[in-house]
Chains A and B, each alone.
Chain A
Amino acid sequence: GDSVTQMEGPVTLSEEAFLTINCTYTATGYPSLFWYVQYPGEGLQLLLKATKADDKGSNKGFEATYRKETTSFHLEKGSVQVSDSAVYFCALGGAMNRDDKIIFGKGTRLHILP
């Protein structure tokens, strides 16, 4: 079945460091791909998304490109801030007119040190 694998954390970086969180997926058809962020004690917020191959999602300095050939959707940010400390979930969802379910990776906890 469909699945998402993301790098295990925690990931600890210093402020202004470059961030990469790897995510790969297995899916039939053409899923949409998402990165969600969960700040301490809160629910999930959609960080960015891509709905087809080669799309690049971006938001708040974060980017991820939908790579069909490598089945990947790695999250990157050039210069992280302390406020980026959170848990990041890679996820995939059905394409239009398909199952609405979202499948989440296990999450990667990110700690940014000042």
Chain B
Amino acid sequence: GAVVSQHPSRVICKSGTSVKIECRSLDFQATTMFWYRQFPKQSLMLMATSNEGSKATYEQGVEKDKFLINHASLTLSTLTVTSAHPEDSSFYICSATPGLAVSSYNEQFFGPGTRLTVL
């Protein structure tokens, strides 16, 4: 149980275009979803936290107009990288928390990640 999927797994786009990444909790309702960014050989950097039906909370230094997050339902969150540039190329990982009804300590379950390459 507690499976999180991401789509697409890999995307290549031209500079200036927008890219949408989906994150779905397949077998549980996620009260909170998180978006991370991982640079090569580095740790995960939390970008934002989103709760269903409310605006995402962005970490310091993350441009909210650049990285649009929508948490439309308890099983789906999307990250849209707007007007992507080569420096946005990275590995984006989402995670989801089922809430205390399922996990006694708000464990996060991670998606497999999306590799974004901006040419």
Give the nearest-CB partner of B109 in chain A.
Answer: A46
Kindly state whether residue A29 has any CB partner on chain B within 8 Å: no
Within 8 A of A (CB), among B44-70: 44, 46, 49
Asked if residues A89 and B43 are in contact (CB atoms below 8 Å), the reply is: yes
Interface size class of A (residues with CB under 8 A): 20 to 34
Interface string of B57-86 (1 = CB under 8 A from A): 000000000000000000000000000000
Q: How far is the CB of A3 from chain B (nearest CB, A)?
A: 11
For the complex, what is the distance from the CA of A100 to the CA of B108, rounded to whole Å? 8
A104: B residues at CB distance < 8 A = 43-44
- The one of A41, A93, A109 in contact with B108, judged by C-beta atoms closer than 8 angstroms, is A93
Looking at B104, B107, B113, the one whose CB has the most chain A CB atoms below 10 A away is B107
- The one of A45, A46, A101 in contact with B49, judged by C-beta atoms closer than 8 angstroms, is A101
For the complex, what is the distance from the CA of A109 to the CA of B41, rounded to whole Å? 8
Asked if residues B44 and A96 are in contact (CB atoms below 8 Å), the reply is: no
Asked if residues B113 and A43 are in contact (CB atoms below 8 Å), the reply is: yes
Q: How far is the CB of A94 from chain B (nearest CB, A)?
A: 7
For the complex, what is the distance from the CA of A100 to the CA of B32, rounded to whole Å? 8
B44: A residues at CB distance < 8 A = 44, 89, 104
A111: B residues at CB distance < 8 A = none
Q: How far is the CB of A102 from chain B (nearest CB, A)?
A: 6
Interface string of B22-48 (1 = CB under 8 A from A): 000000000010100000011110100
Interface string of B84-112 (1 = CB under 8 A from A): 00000000010101001000111111111
Give the nearest-CB partner of B32 in chain A.
Answer: A100
Residues of B within 8 A of A (CB): 6, 32, 34, 41-44, 46, 49, 93, 95, 97, 100, 104-113, 115
